């Protein structure tokens, strides 16, 4: 019997199975009329999956497959929460890496806090670095209440244009700020983040406040816990002033109420999915924010908004209390004005957590004053060739690195492997994380219903055969091994942020990245004050976030891109 795809779909439609059948697994949600799979469904599924069985084999399969439908329904009845991880845990070390044999600095990072003069204006204070703010607060020349009030004022003043805030956490913030001032005045200084305000992407749970995930179906959601990263920042004395926007379910810059805007060009979205963190940091509304990245969600908005983004090594920061999108690819990290600021925040949030089985304790030997002579630096030679939007600025950035007394070695990434195919892992895991939303048609409520949005991806991901999904994971192991070999003898490499396959490959392998601004290009047919920021990326070896941050900091000591302010003031 020969059944083509069209007749297959027609047959499925007749029994209420359209859109729920998985090629290979022949997985269907049985309707209330107890419709069962038939040998015709199996034959048609073979056409989709690219396999062939005999009539006898189909007859043997059909009863077994129908029995399994009950098993699948039993799994669905469990009503698994979004945060429930799979039993398998992703470990970047499978490729051959290991935790570095380095020690933490015994004195922490206190040495980066030299005496600083108080800025002359409130605007200058709003754009001051974390070391400057920490120095002022510690010496009593500024208070946490003052800084917190300033951030809240600026967020409210500019949010009609930026749309960066989903929920203000003012009561929590003012209580924390007053506590910080009392502690510091009594001599109990917790460290460089004590009393410093910040914002958090609204996929992080904070007890007592909504956690909307930026999506219409969840805009009234509250989660009665506080994310591990927020808890760590609480312990460091930092002050959470707002939960910032993200593209719905961590894609893009469109959330349920608005599009978050780029303060360098308000006609443009701020990119995503860490849209609010990028926009708010760039506009001087918060000194730093916590974003997340699965595939570019820190690097892209950091680039668009002209800020510094640090995507830590996979597992270096606990994701407990964060919305799960892809359990094997999600990372949380800081978005700041400089690499030095990012290092201070990362130092506070890193570390293993029993509540996140993928997290590990990672040493952090960052020293901003140490020479670069011990760093082994590479660059993705092929990625700097050709003509693309930021090419000239990227090549100048590479020359700045060479001017630091470094001669980077050419590195080539394993782009010959099927990277795009492996990235289907993200889509399948995301569809699993939001399986109930898809099955109950909740995705129909989401604002974006285009091909480049989650509703479409969740639906199509259900058509990925289970065997192919496992094969993608096996191919990913090969990618990790080849990436480990490519970085043999390299602590950190330089790459254009969006060229050479760097972004996709390093998100799959879990390598850390520090993305810093390196250009503010004119926008065609726009006033001169509107700019298009560009960025360069420093990618560390696994667990060598310190190396990526050190080189990025050295680059910023020779350039001023990270000090520039957008026209919104």
Both tokens assigned to 25: 């697994």
Tell me the three state secondary structure of residue 322. Answer: strand
| Coil, strand or helix at 376 | coil
Find the DSSP H helices in 187-332: 228-235, 275-282, 299-305
C-alpha to C-alpha distance for 337 and 308, rounded to whole angstroms: 5
Q: Report helix, strand and coil shares of the chain as percent, to nearest 5.
A: 40, 15, 45
C-alpha to C-alpha distance for 434 and 423, rounded to whole angstroms: 17
- Catalytic: 338? no
Residue of 245, 274, 292, 297 with catalytic role: 297
**Cα 502 from chain centroid?**
15
- Nearest Cα to 164, choosing from 173, 153, 155, 172? 155
Q: How far, in whole angstroms, is CA 25 from its chain's centroid? A: 31
Q: Which residues contact 438 (CB under 8 A, 6 or more apart)?
A: 431, 458, 459, 462
Q: Is 297 a catalytic residue?
A: yes
Residue among 129, 144, 273, 302 flagged as catalytic? 273
DSSP character for 323? P
Which structure tokens are listed for 434?
């939001």
Strand partners for 204: 322
Q: Which residues contact 92 (CB under 8 A, 6 or more apart)?
A: 313, 314, 315, 480, 509, 510, 511, 542
- Could you tell me where the beta strands, DSSP code E, fall in 175-264? 197-201, 239-244, 261-262
Cα–Cα nearest to 269, from 305, 239, 233: 305
β pairing state of 409-411 and 531-540: unpaired
* Given 201, 232, 243, 531, the catalytic residue: 201
| Contact of 475 with 421, CB cutoff 8 Å | yes
Could you give the 3-state DSSP secondary structure of residue 478?
helix
User: CB neighbours of 410 closer than 8 A, spacing ≥ 6?
Assistant: 378, 379, 381
**CA distances in angstroms from 44 to 13, 14, 17, 204, 431, listed in the order given:** 13, 14, 13, 43, 24
Our answer to whether residue 273 is catalytic in this structure is: yes
Active site residue ranges: 201, 273, 297
């Amino acid at each position: 019997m020969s059944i083509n795809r069209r007749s297959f779909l027609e047959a499925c439609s007749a029994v209420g199975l359209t859109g729920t059948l998985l090629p290979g697994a022949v997985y269907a949600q049985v309707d209330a009329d107890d419709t069962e799979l038939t040998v015709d469904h199996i034959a048609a599924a073979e056409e989709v999956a690219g396999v062939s069985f005999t009539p006898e084999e189909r007859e043997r399969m059909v009863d077994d497959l129908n029995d399994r439908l009950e098993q699948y329904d039993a799994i669905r009845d469990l009503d698994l929460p979004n945060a429930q991880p799979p039993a398998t845990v992703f470990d970047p070390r499978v490729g051959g890496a290991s935790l570095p044999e380095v020690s933490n600095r015994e004195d922490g990072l206190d040495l980066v806090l030299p005496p600083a003069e108080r800025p002359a204006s409130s605007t200058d204070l709003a754009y001051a670095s974390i070391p400057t703010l920490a120095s002022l607060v510690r010496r009593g020349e500024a208070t946490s209440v003052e800084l917190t009030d300033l951030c809240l004022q600026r967020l409210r003043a500019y949010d009609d244009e930026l749309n960066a805030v989903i929920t203000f956490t003012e009561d929590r913030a003012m209580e924390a700020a007053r506590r910080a001032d009392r502690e510091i005045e009594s001599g109990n200084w917790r460290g460089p983040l004590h009393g410093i305000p910040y914002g958090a992407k609204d996929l992080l749970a904070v007890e007592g406040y909504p956690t909307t995930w930026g999506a219409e179906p969840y805009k009234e959601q509250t989660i009665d816990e506080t994310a591990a990263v927020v808890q760590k920042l609480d312990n460091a004395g930092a002050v959470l002033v707002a939960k910032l926007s993200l593209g719905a379910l961590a894609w893009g810059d469109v959330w349920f109420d608005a599009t978050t805007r780029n303060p360098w060009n308000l006609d443009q979205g701020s990119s995503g999915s860490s849209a609010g963190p990028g926009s708010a940091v760039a506009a001087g509304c918060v000194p730093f924010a916590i974003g997340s990245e699965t595939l570019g969600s820190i690097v892209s908005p950091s680039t668009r908004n002209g800020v510094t983004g640090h995507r830590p090594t996979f597992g270096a920061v606990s994701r407990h209390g964060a919305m799960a999108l892809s359990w094997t690819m999600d990372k949380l990290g800081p978005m700041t004005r400089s690499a030095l600021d990012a290092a201070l925040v990362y130092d506070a949030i890193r570390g293993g957590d029993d509540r996140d089985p993928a997290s590990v304790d990672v040493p952090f030997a960052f020293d901003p004053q140490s020479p670069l002579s011990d760093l082994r630096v590479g660059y993705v030679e092929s990625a700097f060739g050709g003509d693309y939007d930021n090419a000239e600025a990227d090549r100048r950035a590479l020359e700045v690195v060479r001017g630091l007394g470094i001669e980077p070695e050419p590195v080539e990434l394993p782009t010959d492997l099927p990277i795009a195919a492996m990235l289907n892992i993200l889509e399948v895991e995301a569809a699993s994380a939001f399986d109930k939303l898809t099955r109950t048609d909740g995705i129909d409520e989401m604002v974006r219903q285009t091909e480049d949005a989650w509703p479409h991806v969740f639906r199509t991901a259900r058509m990925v055969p289970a065997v192919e999904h496992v094969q993608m994971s096996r191919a990913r192991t090969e990618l990790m091994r080849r990436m480990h070999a490519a970085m043999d003898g390299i602590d950190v490499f330089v790459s254009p942020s969006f060229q050479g396959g760097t972004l996709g490959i390093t998100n799959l392998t879990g390598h850390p990245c520090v993305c810093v601004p390196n250009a503010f290009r004119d926008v065609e047919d726009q006033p001169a004050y509107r700019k298009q920021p560009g960025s360069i990326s420093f990618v560390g070896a696994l667990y060598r976030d310190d190396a990526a941050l050190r080189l990025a900091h050295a680059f910023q000591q020779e350039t001023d891109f990270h000090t520039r302010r957008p026209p919104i003031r």
